[in-house]
Chains A and B, each alone.
Chain A
Amino acid sequence: MRSDWLAEIVDRSETGPYSKESEFDLILVRVVPELVKKHGLKFDPEVLVPADDDMADRLYEAGLELLSTTGVYNQTTERRIILTRDEIEEVVAAAPRKVVLGTGKDAVTMSHRGVESEERCVIHSAPTGTPCTEKYHPLILQSAAREPLVDCLGSGSVATYMGRPVIPGTPTEILAARLGASVAREAVRKAGRPGMHINDVATPLTAQGKFAAMDQAKGLRSSDAFLVSQMVELKTDYDQLSRVPHMQNAGMHVVDLLTPLIGGMGGGAEGTAVVTIAELLLGTVCYSASYHIFGHMSLMNVNNTDRMGLWIYSIGGQAIARNSPLLMINAIYCRSGPGTTDLLWEVAAGSVATTVSGLHQGGVGCTGGSETDVYTGLEARFNAQVCHAALGMSREEANGYVLEFLNHYETSLADPNRGKPFRELYDVELVEPNESWLNQYEEVSAEITTMGLDMDRGWKRALETSIN
C-alpha cells in the first residue's frame, strides 16, 4: 500500500468485474440486510444516542465487510473496483488523525474526536446544499464568515451567472465557478480572516468547473478544499476520481461527500448506517480524503433530524470514532427554514447527537435545499454554541436532550415551516440579524439554557482549553 495508489484504482476500474449498475444495486440490496442481521444491529426509536459500544463496533465491522464484499462501482467504466479487507484497513489506519485547515493566523487544527470527547468541535458553515441568488450570495457568505465561532467556510452554490442559468459543462459554469470562489475569498477577507479554510465551491458540478475555481490570489488555494462526491450508494466515476490527483498535486485537502439515503438502497436505519460506514471507508481509500462530510438524509424528506437520521449520526459517528482515525463533519439537513424556532430545535438535536458521537460540525442545510437564500450566519452561531455546550457530555445525557429537543419540532416535520429568505432576516447593509430573528434565537437559547446546557459559557470554556 502507498499514498499515491490512484493509478491502481484506475487500473482496477478498468479490469474489475463488469456489471450493469442495476446489478450492482441488487448485490447491495441483498448483502446489506444480511449484514444487519449477522451483526445484530437494531434501531431503537427511543434511544437516538445509544451508549452501546459493542453495537458501534459491530456496525463498523458490518461496514467494512460490506465494502470488501461489493467493492466500489465505477459508473464510467461500469466495473467494480475490488478492495480487500486488508487494503481497506491499512489505508484507513494510515489516514490523517488531524489536519490543519486554512493558513496563517486563521488556520485551525481539526483533530480526531472520540466518543463523549472534551475536544472542541471545528465549526464549518455554509449554505449547505442551499442555492443562493447572485445578489445575496456575497452577503450570505459574509454573514457566516464574520461569525467568530465559525472556523471554516463553504461557498454554497448559485444557479445563475449574470442572469443566465449555469449549465454544467459549459463556459458559464467556468465563469460562475471562478466568481463563486472569488466571492468566498472576498467574504473571508472582509471578515478580516483571509486565511480561513474554504471547503468547496459548490456552484460547479463538473471537475473542470472545480479546477477553474482555483486561483491563489482570488479563488481557492492549497489551504482550501474541494468536495469529491460519492453517488448513492457506493459509487464513483472518473469525473469525481479525476479531482483527486489534481488536489493532491496542488496540495489541497480532499473532502469526501457522502449522502446515503435513508429508505434507499440501504433500507431502513440499520442498513443505511452500514452503507454509511462503508462509504466513509470508500472515501478514505479511493479519494484519500482529509475529512468526510457525513451527510445521510431521508429519501422522502431530505433531512436527517428525524429519529432515524439522528440515530444514524450517533451510532455511525461512534463506530468510526471508536475504530478509526477518520475526521468527520456533519451536515444537519433540516426540514424547516431560518426565521423559525423549529429550525433551531432541529439544529440543536443534530448538534448534540453528533458532538457526543465524535463528529465536528459541518453546517446547517435549511429546508433540505428546497428554497433559495434560506441560510443565515445566525444558525451557525447557534450550532456552535449548542455543540460546545455538549462537549464531554455522556451519551445517556445527550440522548435525554435530543429527545427533549425533538419534542419541539417532530410534529412539524410532516408539514414544515420553510421560513424566510436571508434578505428578510438580516439587515443587508450591516449584515446583522434583524430583531425578530434575533429574538427567536434568544428565546430558544434561553430555553436550552434552562434545560441545563450552558449556551453562554460552553463555547468560552471550549476556546480556553483549545489549542487553536
Chain B
Amino acid sequence: MNATTRLVDIVNRSLDGPVVEERTFDLTHVAQGVQQVVSDHGIKANPDNIVNLDDDMADRVWEAAVDLFATCGVFSKDTGRVIMFDRDEIEQIVRDAPSEVTIGEGPDERTEMSRTLDDPRPPLLMGGPIGSPTPNELFVPITRSYVQEPIVDVACAPTLTTIAGQEVRTKSPLEILAGWEEAKLTAEARHLAGRPGIGTTGIMISISDLANLSATSSGYVLPRDMHTFGIISELKTNNEIFNKLAHTVLMGGIVDPFANPIYGGLGGGVEGVAVLLTAEMIALSVVFMATCCGSSPTHPFHFHSTAPEIMRATSLSFQALARNARLLTNLTCSPVGGPGTKTVLYEAIAYAAMSTVSGASRILGPRSATGVIAAHFSGLEARLMGEAAHAATKLTREEAEAIVQTSVSKWEHLQDQQPYGLSFPEVYNVETVQPTDEWLGMYEEVKEEAIGWGLPLDS
C-alpha cells in the first residue's frame, strides 16, 4: 500500500471506527486494558534490576502490547471514534516498517539502523535540548554546542521564547514568524559548525499544524531532515496531528513522532508502563506511519525520564521491541540535573547505558533540567551521553546493569531537589562556544569515575 493510500485508510478509520466516550476509552480501553494484559501475560519486572535481564519477560511484554493495541486502538478526539487495526494488520505493518533510514546529507549523512540487544553498533546520537526554551541570542550558540560535537550524529534544536520581542502565541502570525526563525537559526548553527548537511529535527515552537506546515515549507528544512510530532497521551490523536503527518508524507520527509506515557498515569506502574510504551511504539508505526518511533516516558511529579522505575519500564519495553520487531526506536534522555552538576552527567551515563543495551536505535538529548528551565543545557552533556552509549556496546546487559545501578545511587536522592544547575552562559564561553574549565573538569572527573565502574570510556 503506498503512503497516500495508507494515510487515507487511516483517516477513513478515524471517520468510521467505533464511537466511544473519551473517558471510557481512558479507563476501560487503556487503563483496564493494560491491567488485563499485564495479568494475562504474567508481566512482572524484577524490582532489583533497572536493565532487564529476562528475555522471556521481554517477549511477554511484546505479546501483551500487541494484544492491548489490537483491542484498544487509538482514539481520535476530533471524531470521537477509535481507529482500530486487527492483530494480523498490526503484525503485517510492523513487519513492513523500515528498519533503517538515512538522515542528513553529504559527509554528515548517517544511517539509523534497527538494533538488537547485543548489537555492537552504537545507537545514533541526536544531540540537542529538543524544544527546551531558549532566549533568541543563545539559540545559535547552544545549538552549535551540540552540532559541533563530532560524536553527535544528528541534531535537534531548542525553542525560542520570544519573537520580535513578544511572547509567541500559538495559532497567530507570531507562531509562523517564530517557526521560520527557528528553522533559519537551526540552519545557521549547522553552517557555523561546519556541518550544513547534518540531519535535524526541530521547529518545536510551531506546535500548531499551520505553523508547522509553514515552517517545514520554508526551504530551511532539508529533504532528509526529520519531522517530529507528539501524539496525545495515552493512545489518542486529533486531526491536527494527522495534518502534520499528511504534509510530511507528501513532502517525502522522515516521519519521526513520539509518544510519552506518564508514569503513574493510565498505564500505572512499571509493568503497565512497559506494556503501554510498547503498544504506543507499535501505534506510532501502524497509525502514525512512523519511520522512527520515539519516546521519553515521563515522571508525573518531577518530569524526568531517568527515574529508576521509569528506566526499569523503558528497558523492558525496548527489549521487547528489539527482540520482536525491527522498528527504529529512539529514547529521549530528560534528566532532572542541569549543566554544571554531576547529576546530569551521571543521569546521561545511566540512560545511555540502559538504552544502548536495550536495543534503542537512537538516543536523544539530553534535555537537561527536564527541559523546562530556559537555557539550562549544553553540548557537553551530549558528548558524555554519546561516549557512554558507544562504551556500552562493549558491555553485557549484566555489566550495564551494574553501571546503571552505581550511577543511579549517585543522584537518586536528588530527584526531588531540582538540581537544575547553571545556565549555558555560565558553563560555556558564548563566543567561542567552548565549555568553561570548571564544567570540563567536572565532565573529566565523572568520566574517570565511570571508567572506574567498568564503563570503557577510555577505549
Interface residues of A (CB under 8 A from B): 6-7, 9-11, 13-14, 76, 161-162, 164, 169-175, 178, 206-208, 211-212, 214-216, 238-239, 241-242, 244-246, 249-250
Shortest beta-carbon distance from B449 to chain A in Å: 48
User: Chain A interface: which of B30-38, B149-157, B246-254, B396-404?
Assistant: B246-254
User: A-B contact count, CB below 8 Å?
Assistant: 112
Shortest beta-carbon distance from A320 to chain B in Å: 26
The verdict on B193 contacting chain A, using a C-beta distance below 8 Å, is no
Cα A245 to Cα B175 with chains together (Å): 9
Which chain A residue lies CB-closest to B7?
A171
Q: Are A7 and B245 in contact (CB under 8 A)?
A: no
Cα A244 to Cα B175 with chains together (Å): 12
Shortest beta-carbon distance from A375 to chain B in Å: 27
Q: Are A214 and B217 in contact (CB under 8 A)?
A: yes
Cα A173 to Cα B244 with chains together (Å): 12
Q: Are B173 and A250 in contact (CB under 8 A)?
A: no
The verdict on B2 contacting chain A, using a C-beta distance below 8 Å, is no
Complex interface: chain B residues within 8 A of A7 (CB):
163-166, 173-174, 177
Of residues 201 to 257 in B, which have CB atoms within 8 Å of A's CB atoms? 208-214, 217-219, 239-240, 242-243, 245-247, 250-251
Complex interface: chain A residues within 8 A of B251 (CB):
215
The verdict on B11 contacting chain A, using a C-beta distance below 8 Å, is yes
Shortest beta-carbon distance from A28 to chain B in Å: 24
Asked whether A242 and B171 contact (CB < 8 A) given A7-B163, A175-B4, A175-B8, the answer is yes
Cα A216 to Cα B221 with chains together (Å): 13
Q: Are B172 and A172 in contact (CB under 8 A)?
A: no
The verdict on B12 contacting chain A, using a C-beta distance below 8 Å, is yes
Q: Are B173 and A212 in contact (CB under 8 A)?
A: no
Complex interface: chain B residues within 8 A of A249 (CB):
176-177, 180, 218
Q: Are B246 and A245 in contact (CB under 8 A)?
A: no
Q: Among the interface residues B164, B175, B213, which one has the most CB atoms of the partner chain A within 10 A?
A: B213
The verdict on B44 contacting chain A, using a C-beta distance below 8 Å, is no
Q: Are A245 and B173 in contact (CB under 8 A)?
A: yes
Complex interface: chain B residues within 8 A of A242 (CB):
171-173, 175-176, 210-211, 214
Cα A347 to Cα B337 with chains together (Å): 71
Shortest beta-carbon distance from B203 to chain A in Å: 13
Asked whether A238 and B171 contact (CB < 8 A) given A170-B11, A212-B250, the answer is yes
Interface pairs (28), CB distance under 8 Å: A6-B173, A10-B172, A10-B174, A76-B171, A170-B78, A171-B7, A171-B242, A171-B246, A173-B243, A174-B213, A175-B8, A175-B246, A208-B208, A208-B213, A211-B217, A212-B213, A212-B217, A212-B250, A238-B172, A239-B210, A241-B173, A242-B172, A245-B214, A246-B176, A246-B214, A249-B176, A249-B180, A250-B218
Of residues 150 to 196 in B, which have CB atoms within 8 Å of A's CB atoms? 163-166, 169, 171-177, 180
Cα A216 to Cα B245 with chains together (Å): 19
Complex interface: chain B residues within 8 A of A164 (CB):
8, 12
Complex interface: chain B residues within 8 A of A161 (CB):
8
Cα A246 to Cα B243 with chains together (Å): 17
Q: Among the interface residues A172, A178, A212, A214, which one has the most CB atoms of the partner chain B within 10 A?
A: A212
Q: Are A170 and B210 in contact (CB under 8 A)?
A: no
Partner of B173, one of A10, A174, A216: A10
Q: Are B169 and A10 in contact (CB under 8 A)?
A: yes
Q: Are A10 and B166 in contact (CB under 8 A)?
A: yes
